[in-house]
Amino acid sequence: MNIDLTGKTALVTGSTQGIGLAIAQGLAASGARVVINGRNRDKVDEAVATLDGDITGVAADVATAEGAHTVHDQQPHVDILVNNLGMFGAVPAREITDEQWRTYFEVNVLAAARLIRLYLPSMVERGWGRILQIASDSAVVIPEEMIHYGVSKTALLALSRGFAKDAAGSGVTVNSVIAGPTHTAGVEDFVYQLVDKELPWDEAQREFMRRHRPQSLIQRLIEPEEIANMVTYLASPLATATTGGALRVDGGYIDSVLP
């Protein structure tokens, strides 16, 4: 496929590292002008410097209303919005506090809702746009060690479906990408929360998959670039008939025919 995003501007939240950074690089490699976003100015600048292509950055916490408006004020024209920002962590179910529930909702759900509200109207006016949420297998297979995370990602699937209906017939598509267990620095820390910290990484990864993600059909962690490939396709003009969907890049982890 020839994916050409020349002339399009893409904003990727939480993109100074991991999946977000890989998505930013994938979009830039296809010709898009990419806006990197993170809370820390130094990390944003570092990410911008490491990527090839037409890259700029905005340092702001989009999990707050002020931060979302800062990004919109600095980058009012966006054709492709990728809501990648998210947080996760293992907490026993009965120990999750009210504050933790609120924080996960703010970061994993409300941040996306705010930015969609800000950017969708102009996309509809132009008759073209792509809005993508990076969800998780945990949205469908709620993990007992972090149900607050799973619930927030389930809400993100519903958010995408609802806004896809709101954008019906406009030329704007809204989708979720269900990412499976992915190899990032944050996930390495998470893996070592659940397995022996003395194990070398390759052994720790295999032990984690065996004990905590045995349903995976590829039996390994997914690389961020593999998530980015799906996002780049969905962001392109080739995906005009795909909207309101939850598309899986999960290594076959979810034991279901659909989605």
Instruction: Please report, for the domain that includes residue 39, its CATH number.
Output: 3.40.50.720
Q: Is residue 117 part of a domain?
A: yes
**What pLDDT sits at residue 253?**
94
Strand, helix or coil at 106? Answer: helix
Please list, in sequence order, all residues whose beta carbon lies within 8 angstroms of the beta carbon of residue 218, skipping any fewer than 6 positions away: 251, 252
> Does residue 67 sit in the same domain as residue 151?
yes
Instruction: Check residue 219 and give left, alpha or beta (phi > 0: left; psi -120 to 50: alpha).
Output: left
Please list, in sequence order, all residues whose beta carbon lies within 8 angstroms of the beta carbon of residue 5, skipping any fewer than 6 positions away: 27, 30, 31, 32, 80, 232, 235, 236
> Does residue 142 sit in the same domain as residue 94?
yes
- Catalytic residue from among 149, 192, 233, 253: 149
User: What does each of the 259 residues of the chain score in pLDDT, given as a tens digit?
Assistant: 899 999 999 999 999 999 999 999 999 999 999 999 999 999 999 999 999 999 999 999 999 999 999 999 999 999 999 999 999 998 999 999 999 999 999 999 999 999 999 999 999 999 999 999 999 999 999 999 999 999 999 999 999 999 999 999 999 999 999 999 999 888 898 899 899 999 999 999 989 999 988 999 998 899 999 999 999 999 999 999 999 999 999 999 999 887 7
Please list, in sequence order, all residues whose beta carbon lies within 8 angstroms of the beta carbon of residue 205, skipping any fewer than 6 positions away: 183, 191, 220, 221
Q: Is residue 3 part of a domain?
A: no
- Cα Rg, the chain, nearest whole Å: 18
Q: Is residue 257 part of a domain?
A: no
Q: Which residue, 27, 24, 4, 3, is CA-closest to 12?
A: 24
Q: Is residue 177 part of a domain?
A: yes
- CA dist list (Å): 218 to 140, 202, 215: 18, 15, 9
> Does residue 31 sit in the same domain as residue 128?
yes
> Does residue 136 sit in the same domain as residue 214?
no
The encoded tokens of residue 175 equal 């989708």
What H or E segment, with its residue span, contains residue 151? Answer: helix 147-166
pTM: 0.94
Q: Is residue 50 part of a domain?
A: yes
Q: Is residue 254 part of a domain?
A: no
> Does residue 190 sit in the same domain as residue 62?
no
Q: Is residue 83 part of a domain?
A: yes
Q: Which residue, 107, 116, 214, 213, is CA-closest to 151?
A: 107
Strand, helix or coil at 1? Answer: coil
Q: What total of structural domains would you count in the chain? A: 2
Instruction: Check residue 53 and give left, alpha or beta (phi > 0: left; psi -120 to 50: alpha).
Output: left
| Phi/psi at 37 (5° precision) | -135, 140
- Report the distance separating Cα 66 and Cα 91, nearest Å: 29
> Does residue 43 sit in the same domain as residue 169?
yes
- Report the distance separating Cα 53 and Cα 100, nearest Å: 38
- CA dist list (Å): 184 to 2, 191, 194, 225: 28, 10, 16, 11
> Does residue 86 sit in the same domain as residue 196?
no
> Does residue 99 sit in the same domain as residue 174?
yes
> Does residue 154 sit in the same domain as residue 200?
no
**Is 119 part of the annotated catalytic residue set?**
no
Q: Is residue 4 part of a domain?
A: no
> Does residue 125 sit in the same domain as residue 44?
yes
* Residue 83: domain span: 9-182+225-249
> Does residue 102 sit in the same domain as residue 119?
yes
**What pLDDT sits at residue 213?**
87
> Does residue 217 sit in the same domain as residue 239?
no
